[in-house]
Structure 1
């Protein structure tokens, strides 16, 4: 694999060694399912009085792990531990922090097959998406380390005051905030925990990590990588339990100096409002989903457009904030593209995500499964037609998990609410437009602005980049119309209701979000 670099853009034709390593890891993992995992607070393995079973969406009879149902006391204990560790960690030379974080990223790479297998079983991602999530995490951490080195610890000599008879030195220093909270989602539980965690740690903050309940196990395996790399006790703390109790206790605590949350718009906005009820303003980094458009011009390469739309609409069963959920096609090529999309989508294999030939696994839980059925009924009642899909899968193995068909919808009026509502499922609406101006008007007429894709001529591409209201934009990309961002290549973050910081993860400006500036003036 010396010549192969795994990213979301390259994962479609991996070397055989990747498949062999993954298959071996799945076989080993299935023999050891159901073990109990603890929380980690101040370097200690902590159990709660109550537990919960972490079931696989692939087969709900499978108990992958037994996890702890933490409460508000565990939240406070974790915050206390992080506060106690902050003076030591923040005064650890940044070069040493970089060294430890690079070691953690290296351990993630060493364990990629075991971690990828766990990801597939817990999240329902196919094998290449699962391996990609793990590798992206390592690359996000490496990138934060690189930025810290590149900027020499963010210590900058400023100008000298023009004082007669005095020598005035001004130095700008970026310093960590303190205790940072990372609340991560189910869909990218490794990258969207490890990415912000790595940035916070390199910057000198200490951490409390609270994962989504559906994916608590895989995040515990990430925390093991931090611990095994030698990061000191109390610097990384890990708690599991309900968002309504343990999660709310974390958000409400004055011990939290900053937070990174990735998840739904409604939950994120509530967190933003709750977090503002403090004695002073504290930083909050939010990534809150998307309703991402793909605009297809009459001048588009329809073969590229077809592949890119399919990959972005149905990768991870549409459970991506970057998923292509709206396709706007110029009238003269509409019928041709729709025919191509129907033919290609009909061939997608739905099944066990650890299977080599599977493209789509199950959705993550029963709630999402029921939402799929409800949305499909609403589409049917609203006048939409199913080009493909529209049903849950039943019979045999499908009765054991949460399997939904990859679904394209046509003829749904643009006035219908589902053109603007994030479904977070394998459902994509396709609409016919008269021209590119109409397409752009519809594309921008949403609260979100995360990703967007375009297929057309070079001249039209410049127009698209200038007019589209989104933070991550792609043109003529077969690897994914709206998905596939990678640290160091495509920084990932959104505009409007999709993000709060205006700076994208895996990019030049992200790491400083985890630090505040101090100017030091000394007059001699």
Structure 2
């Protein structure tokens, strides 16, 4: 009932919103971004309480949300609403390229970036002239409500933006199955993402889907690496937001000659992490998202204690009112073990040694995912080798492979398809173009 009502409202509002001068839509979306920046601390504090982000990550998520809205507005303005005059055969003919909005666009967003991955796609769809129905993760409805308030207060008319809460099985599935939806942006699991792609491919014509469906991201460490930099980078990428990022490093391949030294530095860096209430400035890791994640952690580490060597962590923590777990480093896990290829979405990283760099590259690429990858080396030729051979959409050298800075301040990183776990484009200008058709 609520799904039908939201889509009816969005459909009814579409003609007037899409016909509105694009300059007015740009101004409204920019105003919403400014309101998010003005409400930075209120939204950030809510995010820390709602999902366990530390102070810095929560504030960064809010500002990234605002920046993504500004980026989409700027792209429409810079490109004259994607309306261009083309060459003509003669003065008697006039050719133009014009992109038009689809209609009702759905955004289903995840818990881990409840601002950026809800507000970013929403802003892109709205400024292009679509109307939107947003369904956030069940763990983060309040962050989505803050976004709703900013859009409303900026002047988005009733019906143009619609906010639904509820489970994925009921509300999410209702949106996916609804014939009144013209396109969708989804961030979440591979199984659900592929279900959406297949569903939207049926019918009279395929409907557009932008789906980001996880990662199992490798880092390769050369014997020519700065090991202090490598240890810090792996630690920050693997354990930031409790490992609950699709871009997090979860497997490391380090040259055998420097493995022992690297492991010592990684354990040392990890031992300095403070785990506790994420609203307190001294704490870097908060709790995992929910009881399900907590139970998954216990299940995985029980297996890892048996199958490999847990050299750090591997236990639940009683440090406060929440689902707290220790950052966990695992060595000597057989390469045949399925956790080398299974996305755990938890603060667990597996490490193994290699003898030849080509061997490491084969292992790094031997997954169905292809989201991010990292490499540490002080040798320029090795850096180029990595960039030429890695199969990932976003790659980093000599930094934490888990940064999240897509389309911010005009610096666009496109998260493209590599392997089987992404569909469409979810970064830079292309998501905006995906929400409008030629």
TM-score by length of 2: 0.97
- Provide closer, same or farther for how the CA distance between residues 443 and 141 of structure 1 changes in structure 2, counting only shifts above 3 A: same
1:452 corresponds to 2:377? no
Task: Determine the structure 2 residue equivalent to 1:111.
Answer: 39
Instruction: Tell me which of 382, 392, 399 is aligned to 1:470.
Output: 392
Q: C-alpha distance in 1, partners of 2:405/2:385?
A: 22
Q: C-alpha distance in 1, partners of 2:79/2:11?
A: 27
Q: C-alpha distance in 1, partners of 2:373/2:225?
A: 15
State the secondary structure of the residue aligned to 2:99: strand
Tell me if structure 1 keeps the 8 A contact 2:210–2:431: no
Task: Determine the structure 1 residue equivalent to 2:50.
Answer: 122
Q: C-alpha distance in 2, partners of 1:494/1:406?
A: 29
Tell me if structure 1 keeps the 8 A contact 2:14–2:131: yes
Q: C-alpha distance in 1, partners of 2:284/2:171?
A: 35
Task: Determine the structure 1 residue equivalent to 2:140.
Answer: 215
Instruction: Tell me which of 283, 289, 301 is aligned to 2:208.
Output: 283
Q: CA RMSD in A?
A: 1.2
1:156 corresponds to 2:81? no
Task: Determine the structure 1 residue equivalent to 2:314.
Answer: 390
1:174 corresponds to 2:99? yes
Runs of 4+ in 1 over 3 A off after TM superposition: none
Q: C-alpha distance in 2, partners of 1:80/1:508?
A: 29
Task: Determine the structure 1 residue equivalent to 2:236.
Answer: 311
Instruction: Tell me which of 412, 416, 420 is aligned to 1:497.
Output: 420
State the secondary structure of the residue aligned to 1:78: helix
State the secondary structure of the residue aligned to 2:345: coil
Tell me if structure 2 keeps the 8 A contact 1:491–1:504: no
Instruction: Tell me which of 424, 429, 432 is aligned to 2:353.
Output: 432
After TM superposition, give the deviation of residue 428 of structure 1 in Å.
Answer: 0.6
Q: C-alpha distance in 2, partners of 1:311/1:251?
A: 35
CA offsets per residue over residues 170-212 of structure 1, 9 Å max, x none?
1110000000000000000110000000100111000000011
Tell me if structure 1 keeps the 8 A contact 2:44–2:55: yes
Structure 1, unpaired ranges of 5+? 1-72, 518-524
Tell me if structure 1 keeps the 8 A contact 2:55–2:281: yes
After TM superposition, give the deviation of residue 435 of structure 1 in Å.
Answer: 1.8
Q: C-alpha distance in 2, partners of 1:443/1:236?
A: 41
Task: Determine the structure 2 residue equivalent to 1:485.
Answer: 405
After TM superposition, give the deviation of residue 498 of structure 1 in Å.
Answer: 2.9
Structure 2, unpaired ranges of 5+? none
Q: C-alpha distance in 1, partners of 2:429/2:8?
A: 32
Alignment of 1:313-352 (within 5 A): 313-352=238-277
Q: C-alpha distance in 2, partners of 1:492/1:124?
A: 27
CA offsets per residue over residues 328-380 of structure 1, 9 Å max, x none?
10111111111000111011100000010101000000000000000011112
1:140 corresponds to 2:68? yes
Q: C-alpha distance in 1, partners of 2:169/2:17?
A: 30
CA offsets per residue over residues 65-98 of structure 1, 9 Å max, x none?
xxxxxxxx00000000000000000011111100
1:413 corresponds to 2:337? no
Q: C-alpha distance in 1, partners of 2:305/2:94?
A: 69
Q: C-alpha distance in 2, partners of 1:430/1:293?
A: 10
Q: C-alpha distance in 1, partners of 2:256/2:354?
A: 6
Alignment of 1:2-81 (within 5 A): 73-81=1-9
Which piece of structure 1 moves more, 405-414 or 458-467?
458-467
Task: Determine the structure 2 residue equivalent to 1:189.
Answer: 114
Which of structures 1 and 2 has the bigger CA Rg?
A: 1
Tell me if structure 1 keeps the 8 A contact 2:331–2:352: yes
Tell me if structure 2 keeps the 8 A contact 1:101–1:198: yes
After TM superposition, give the deviation of residue 492 of structure 1 in Å.
Answer: 4.5
Alignment of 1:504-523 (within 5 A): 504-505=426-427, 507-517=428-438
Alignment of 1:218-233 (within 5 A): 218-233=143-158
Task: Determine the structure 2 residue equivalent to 1:234.
Answer: 159
Q: C-alpha distance in 2, partners of 1:114/1:207?
A: 25
Tell me if structure 1 keeps the 8 A contact 2:278–2:286: yes
After TM superposition, give the deviation of residue 275 of structure 1 in Å.
Answer: 2.5
Q: C-alpha distance in 1, partners of 2:241/2:224?
A: 29
